[in-house]
Structure 1
Amino acid sequence: MTVATAPAVRDANLAVLDREGLDALVAALVADGRTVVGPTVRDGAVVLAELSSAQELPYGWGVELDAGRYRLAPREDGAAFAHSAGPQSWKNWLHPAHERLWSADRRPDGTVDYTVEAEEPPSYAFLGVRPCDLRAIAVQDRVLTGGLHEDSRYGARRRRALLIAVECTEPGATCFCVSAGGGPQAGPGYDLALTEVVDDAGHRFLVRVGSEEGARLVERIPHRAADPVTEDTARESVEAARDRMGRALPTGDLRELLAASSDADRWNDVAARCLTCGNCTMVCPTCFCTTTEEVTDLTGDHTERWQRWDSCFDLDFSLLHGGPVRASASSRYRQWLTHKLSTWYDQFGSSGCVGCGRCIVWCPVGIDLTEEVAALDAEHRAREEAEHRAREEADRP
């Protein structure tokens, strides 16, 4: 496909695309042999799927979110990215839920042929990466490619992936990225960052270039120089989104709070509601735990090892020779929340939560992480006040 090239952009790191330009961007990525993954409407939700054209984007659709609730909502402005994070994240492609690691076949003479899976990873282009998910990818990079034990399969996929972020102008009712240390603006790590603008001047996308490959892409597609109106409108829309988060974590040091709350009564309260289904870990963009399993055919001459996602809510996750370490629902929920917001720092130098709100939306009983942390904070403060009063009483003559 031949795409007309526009005149050079005034600022090499800033440009404007209209819908035709967005169409051309996706067409250029497909022509390059990339597997383009982005949002589309399917089965009553905005999901991530392979796209062959920008026409498959969810133009005119937003979402209504609450704890345990997700609904599509039509929009009159025809925006393509005016929706919050759906049930999937990009880890579904970078860190698949199920993949074969190796296989082995026994020959008639008793020798064994051992084959390691070494397929060339796809060359992905992720279109519509939210700032929270951009941070989540950076977190998984630290977990899975940092340190001594790199996941080589993840690393191969990640190195070949091109990231096109989309800044948030319509945060959902369960979003809390600002209080989780992020924001609706795209941070580092993208190749291109888009900010969608729909107003009287038309439907367009302000583009920031974040890499040389991103710059080359922009030069191949129809675009124009960024004008002050589009720049100001895009910036103001993103800034306004910061003040419209639907949820917030408590202020203060959550690491200390969780460390001091191991025996809090609130764990029993949440355990009475939690189904330990693991939905929160499955939709979380940073959860990375896996297990391996071997399968054989009926003859026993062929076997395969598969890696699949695991969850700390699974009773067998902490199974040792004497039984599971965390047999109760309260201990498993405590493990998940404490690791996510506290001990993750000890391992990887950051929080494991990016504030996307997926765990709230896709919990079947509507457990709200921000509500649980606020309750733990209130209980901790009440306990400290009671202890302070008791010390004062003891010190009185």
Structure 2
Amino acid sequence: MTVDAAVIDTEGLEGLVAALIRRGRTVVGPTVRDDAIVLSELTSARELPYGWGVELEAGSYRLRRRADRMAFSHSAGPQSWKHYLHPERVRQWSAERGPDGTVTVTEEADRPPAYAFLGVRPCDLAAIATQDRVLMGGPHTDDVYRRRRTGAFLVVVECVEPGATCFCVSMGTGPAAHGSYDLALTEVHDERGHRFWARAGSEAGAEVLAELPRLPADTSTADAARDAVSRAAGRMGRTMPEVDLHDLMRDTREAERWNDVAARCLTCGNCTMVCPTCYCTTTEDVTDLTGDHAERWRRWDVCYDLDFTHLHGGSVRQSGRSRYRQWLTHKIGTWHDQFDTSGCVGCGRCIVWCPVGIDITEEAHALHAERAAGPQVEADGEETSEGEGHP
């Protein structure tokens, strides 16, 4: 028997984790650790962050106690599901030199667990779909990603309380769930109690839902869930300008605003580390002191690194201005040219985890305003484009 929709409570949520573990899956979900809500392997739904919320601003993240026992009323944390699907470091091979000088190379056997992700936000669901397109959608498939992604069980949780740095509505990625998932949950907390409107998005999801302690899906819970998501859509903390962002990036390559952001940017790469769609990697060879053992590792790379564009003669992008401009114009501009989609899903992580509080939405609005103002007119009446001549 399968079930397409139902109402479950916290006991049903506990049953969901147990059912996934019985199926041999490694369940990963949000939990509280080190004064943050982070992703970790779960053995019970009791480890979820019941009663915890967050306060977010540019360059600021604070955990706070809620007045209720909501489990998923917190915004995106410092990690995304990329940490499990496209991990930070992967050993590709190792080599040993024997006593007779013979070198034996052994390819790394990547045997990831069968993942079940519990608590995937709609923005992160869109990010997973974006990385699917980047890492599996072309002629050259990333095998590490493919092995981890194939068969992963996704439980998406719709957002009912966006954070101050969220702008998923502007990017068309939330707060309602769209796309491919196995189960969708919407958390409801009202005078009738604490419960979840659950819907299956796949046959596997329907089979799991049928095993849980549940009530039939009722109209009042479904309506309350939809209303909560609709209200969340109207309470986004940030917005992008309502223009074609691809064209905006193309038209403002020489804008003066790039100098302003360059004066603040540390080129640390934090924004790429927390971004759920950034995918760039490099390779690193290491050896022991004897020289008899060597390894090759793949690790994340960032376009803020001087060596990222190092060619014969030096780095192509030497200024912080050019490197930040490359990141932003690729993220919301030329990503469309490569993959027919935006590289930004509106999660707001890059805003929160920037040490100096640079806000991607603020920069986009500033560039839009500068473009709308048109070319500047100098004292002699000659028009000139601001920023001309900068690298």
Unaligned ranges ≥5, structure 2:
384-391
Give the counterpart of 2:320 among 298, 308, 329: 329
- Contact kept in structure 2, 1:122 and 1:160, CA below 8 Å: no
- Runs ≥4 residues deviating over 4 A: 384-387
2:28 to 34, 37, 41: 37
Alignment-derived partner of residue 300 in structure 2: 309
Q: What's the offset of the Cα at 1:196? A: 0.3
2:225 equivalent in structure 1:
234
Aligned with 2:57 (options 52, 59, 66): 66
Counterpart position of 1:5: none
Question: Secondary structure of the equivalent of 1:178?
Answer: helix
Instruction: Give the equivalent residue in structure 2 for 1:275.
Output: 266
Deviation per CA, 1:141-186: give whole Å up to 9, x if none: 0001111211001001000311000000000000000111222000
Matched, 1:382 2:377: no
Pairwise mapping of residues 61-210 of structure 1 onto structure 2 (< 5 A)? Answer: 61-210=52-201
Q: CA deviation at 1:111?
A: 2.2
Asked whether the equivalents of residues 168 and 184 of structure 1 are also in contact (C-alpha less than 8 Å), the reply is yes
Q: Hey, what's the Cα distance between the residues in 2 that align with 1:154 and 1:348?
A: 17
Q: Deviations over 1:325-353 (max 9, x none)?
A: 00000000000000000100111110000
Q: What is the CA-CA distance between 1:385 and the residue it aligns to?
A: 8.5
Aligned with residue 240 of structure 2, among 221, 225, 249:
249
The code of the aligned residue for 2:34 comes to: D
Q: Percent same amino acid at aligned positions?
A: 66
**Superposition deviation, residue 114 in structure 1:** 1.3
> Which of the numbers 332, 341, 347 marks the counterpart of 2:332?
341
Distance 1:267 1:80 in 2: 40
Partner amino acid for 2:322? Answer: S
For residue 108 of structure 1, report the CA deviation from its aligned partner.
2.2
Letter in 1 for 2:85: L
In the alignment, structure 1 residue 361 sits paired with structure 2 residue 343 = no
Describe the shift of the 1:34–1:313 C-alpha distance in structure 2 as closer, same or farther (beyond 3 A).
same
Secondary structure of 2:61's aligned partner: strand
Given that residues 110 and 144 in structure 2 are in contact (C-alpha distance below 8 angstroms), is that contact kept between their aligned partners in structure 1? no
Q: What amino acid sits opposite 1:214 in the alignment?
A: G
Query: Quick one: distance in 2 between partners of 1:206 and 1:36?
Result: 20
Q: CA deviation at 1:109?
A: 2.4
Matched, 1:28 2:19: yes
CA contact (8 A) 2:52 2:64 kept: yes
Secondary structure class of the residue paired with 2:357: coil
Query: Matched residue of 2:170: which SS?
Result: coil
1-side partners of 2:155 and 2:174: how far apart?
17
Partner residue of 2:387? none
